[in-house]
Amino acid sequence: MRSSSAFLWLILFVMGFSASVRAQDATAIVRKADEHARGKTSQAEMTMTVVRPTWQREMSMKTWSEGTQNALVLITAPAKEKGIVYLKRSKEVWN
pLDDT category at 7 given cuts 50, 70, 90 is confident
Burial of 59 (0-12, 13-18, 19+ CB in 10 A): middle
Q: Kindly report the CATH number assigned to the domain that includes residue 63.
A: 2.50.20.10
Euclidean distance between the first and final Cα of the chain, in Å? 74
Distance, in Å, from the CA atom of 43 to the CA atom of 39, rounded to the nearest integer, reads 11
The residue segments making up the domain with residue 24 are 2-94
51-83 pLDDT, tens digit each: 999 999 999 999 999 988 999 999 999 999 999
State the total domains in the chain: 1
Residue-level pLDDT at 15: 67
21-49 pLDDT, tens digit each: 566 788 888 888 877 777 788 899 999 99
Distance, in Å, from the CA atom of 61 to the CA atom of 25, rounded to the nearest integer, reads 37
